[in-house]
Amino acid sequence: MNKLTGLKIVGAGLVIGAAVFIHYRSVNIAPENAATAGGEASVSKAAVEGPGEPGKTLMAGYPPPDYDRPVTIASSPITPQTYGVTEVKVGTTSFLVQGKDLYAFSGGEGGKWSKIAEFPIPDESLFKKYRPKTEIWTYETEIGPATGSARGIWAGYKFYSGEGCNGLGGAVLYDVKERGFGVFRHPALVACAIGAIAVNDDYLVARTYKQGEGYSSVCNGVVEIDMKTLKAVSYVPKESEVISDHAPAPGAKLLGDKYAAPLEKVVSGEAGFEKKDAPNWSDAEREKIIAEGLERYMFRVAREEARSGAAAKEARPKDVRSDHMWIDNSKAAREALQAPPEEDNAAGTGDIDEKEVVGVFSGLAKKEFMKVYGGLTDITTLRPDAVKLSGKEGAKKYYCICALAQDPAHTDYDSSMSFEENAKHSRVGCFVLSGTRPARILKLADVPTRRWRDYSGRCVAGEAENEVVVTFSGDTYGDQVVSRRYAVNPAAWTSELIPESSGKP
């Protein structure tokens, strides 16, 4: 008998009760991707199959009152047939999953959809916990496919893993009776996105994938997890592990639709996949979870992850450093984005240190970028480097800083526009700022980010006096490094690009 036959038989008799459909007094409709207290679902670049609307936070504040069916949010009706919406059933009750939002239908002729919960989205601190050996530049994870079970609604996590981005995999259960979440971070799932999921009392089966820049692969294949023993096995196509590739090598084999074979056919052997070992917990870890009880374990993990995320936000330092970025999250830095910079100190005294630089710099950089294009208001400051420049009063301390500027109304490359138009919406620039008179900056250069937020810049002292070197690169994607050397005149507050013929930087 097929292991997944039970997936088609939904347990009956589960009493949800009218308490699930709570009436609330107020609702605020927020723009797409607006942040809420529960965190924001990020937007993935691609999916292997059935990609829906990206996870969007459409509601702000507290949960909304009941809506007549269909739900209308942001002028778009949400029905079970809406692209990007999954309708699942628990018992006889219908639920809709859109992004991380979960709706329930009260049933009957005059029934209404009610938003009852938001699936938890793991934050970057949890990525470091579960995948400590994996380097990332940008983190994002969202809710993927969903399915109903006798106990509640299961959903898989999905994410993009290319161009420096990555995320955290696993599955999450909304228990309808308990009205709470449980999280299942099995080792076979944490490094993969999920493209399809099916669950019954005995097995969880997930089609995993990895979506990179221009290609997709099977990751750990179709993973089958025994929910009693917690052991996992993988089913992988024999001919290839590459699903798609926009520029395949000559003779490369691509799976295409073969990998989208029905899950029940894969685990029964009808799809012709090869059974292999999958990543698993150790025997000791499995025994410990089984002794605790899987559901109790999942609820505990969900609580611990929620506390971990909250603690990470509370304890986040004022300055966060990595090899790629230096970001100041201090109050002064945040206010600098809104407030105009102060005028020069006439005396020219009072050096600012590295921690104060970004708070001063961000507002100034914002004004410079907006001279290029008015929408470049979202500024991310990269690591500043101290340099010494010599003027009339001798050598003084300066900072050489690069920053990314993004138009928040255009958060991804728009293929309907030309490259020149897209280039206005996402740029990286490098500047010089005085350590003693920090009310003005000198722009050396700014360029398009090429592949949308993946490009970074570095600005450092050169070998010659009053020389600075600007380097632009997509340092995780094999882009050619672009370097420029500038001769800076601090007295005149000007710079000149040194011809390439004068030597390599």
Which residues on adjacent β-strands are paired with residue 181? 174
| Same domain, residue pair 330 and 253 | no
Residue 23 has pLDDT above 60, yes or no: no
| Same domain, residue pair 386 and 245 | no
Tokens in use for 503? 């030597």
Give the pLDDT of residue 479: 55
Structural domain including 277 reads 5-314
Q: Pairing between strand 482-489 and 467-473?
A: antiparallel
Whether residue 70 is preceded by a cis peptide bond, meaning omega within 30 degrees of 0, is yes
Which is more confidently placed, 335 or 152? 152
Residue 25 has pLDDT above 60, yes or no: no
| Same domain, residue pair 144 and 130 | yes
Longest dimension (CA), the chain: 88
Give the pLDDT of residue 167: 93
Give the pLDDT of residue 7: 43
Q: How confident is the model at residue 307 (pLDDT cuts 50, 70, 90)?
A: confident
Left (φ > 0), alpha (ψ -120 to 50) or beta: where does 79 sit? beta
Give the pLDDT of residue 119: 93
Give the pLDDT of residue 110: 66
Are 103 and 115 in contact by the 8 Å Cβ rule? The answer is yes
Q: Which one, of 139, 143, 273, 294, lies nearest residue 231 by Cα?
A: 294
CB neighbourhood size of 251 (10 A): 5
Which is more confidently placed, 354 or 41? 354
Give the pLDDT of residue 501: 40
- CA 405 vs. chain centroid, Å, equals 18
Distance, in Å, from the CA atom of 462 to the CA atom of 400, rounded to the nearest integer, reads 11
Determine what percent of the chain is predicted with pLDDT higher than 90: 33
**For residue range 406-464, what is the model confidence (pLDDT) as tens digits?**
888 887 777 777 777 888 888 999 999 887 766 688 999 888 886 666 678 888 898 88
Residue 118 has pLDDT above 70, yes or no: yes
Q: How confident is the model at residue 107 (pLDDT cuts 50, 70, 90)?
A: low
Q: Which one, of 221, 231, 226, lies nearest residue 285 by Cα?
A: 231
Of 273, 299, 314, which marks where a domain is finished? 314
Residue 97 has pLDDT above 60, yes or no: yes
Task: Tell me which range, 292-306, 337-351, 374-388, is most confidently predicted by mean pLDDT.
Answer: 292-306
| Same domain, residue pair 288 and 370 | no
Give the pLDDT of residue 449: 80
| Same domain, residue pair 126 and 166 | yes
| Same domain, residue pair 126 and 218 | yes
Distance, in Å, from the CA atom of 406 to the CA atom of 427, rounded to the nearest integer, reads 7
Number of domains forming the structure of the chain: 2
Are 337 and 408 in contact by the 8 Å Cβ rule? The answer is no
**For residue range 355-404, what is the model confidence (pLDDT) as tens digits?**
677 777 888 898 899 988 888 888 888 888 889 898 877 888 899 999 98
Kindly provide the residue ranges of all beta strands, DSSP E only, lying in 330-384, ordered along the sequence: 378-381
Of 281, 314, 347, which marks where a domain is finished? 314
Residue 44 has pLDDT above 50, yes or no: no
**For residue range 230-282, what is the model confidence (pLDDT) as tens digits?**
999 999 999 999 999 888 888 889 999 999 999 999 999 999 999 999 999 99
What angle, rounded to 10 degrees, do the helices at 294-314 and 283-292 form? 100
Are 440 and 455 in contact by the 8 Å Cβ rule? The answer is no
Distance, in Å, from the CA atom of 89 to the CA atom of 86, rounded to the nearest integer, reads 10
Coil vs helix vs strand at 497: strand
Query: Within the chain, how many helices (H) and strands (E) appear?
Result: 7, 33
Mean pLDDT of all residues in the chain?
74
CA count, 13 A, side-chain hemisphere, 136: 21
| Same domain, residue pair 274 and 408 | no
Residue 476 has pLDDT above 90, yes or no: no
| Same domain, residue pair 163 and 265 | yes
Instruction: Give the predicted TM-score (pTM) of the model.
Output: 0.53
- The predicted model gives 193-218 an average pLDDT of 93
Tokens in use for 269? 């052997």
Give the pLDDT of residue 20: 32
Give the pLDDT of residue 335: 40
Q: Which residue has the tokens 């702000």?
A: 60
Q: Pairing between strand 138-139 and 165-166?
A: parallel
Of 314, 342, 370, which marks where a domain is finished? 314
- CA 97 vs. chain centroid, Å, equals 19
Tokens in use for 24? 């609330």
Phi, psi of 307, deg, nearest 5: -65, -40
Give the pLDDT of residue 289: 96
| Same domain, residue pair 239 and 146 | yes
Are 422 and 448 in contact by the 8 Å Cβ rule? The answer is yes
DSSP 314: H
Q: CA-CA-CA-CA torsion for 21, 23, 28, 31, nearest 10 degrees?
A: 10
| Same domain, residue pair 279 and 381 | no
DSSP 214: S
| Same domain, residue pair 265 and 350 | no
Are 415 and 437 in contact by the 8 Å Cβ rule? The answer is no
- The predicted model gives 337-343 an average pLDDT of 36
Which is more confidently placed, 19 or 159? 159
| Same domain, residue pair 308 and 370 | no
Q: How confident is the model at residue 91 (pLDDT cuts 50, 70, 90)?
A: confident
Give the pLDDT of residue 169: 96
Q: Which amino acid is at 459?
A: C
Residue 113 has pLDDT above 90, yes or no: no
- The predicted model gives 158-177 an average pLDDT of 91
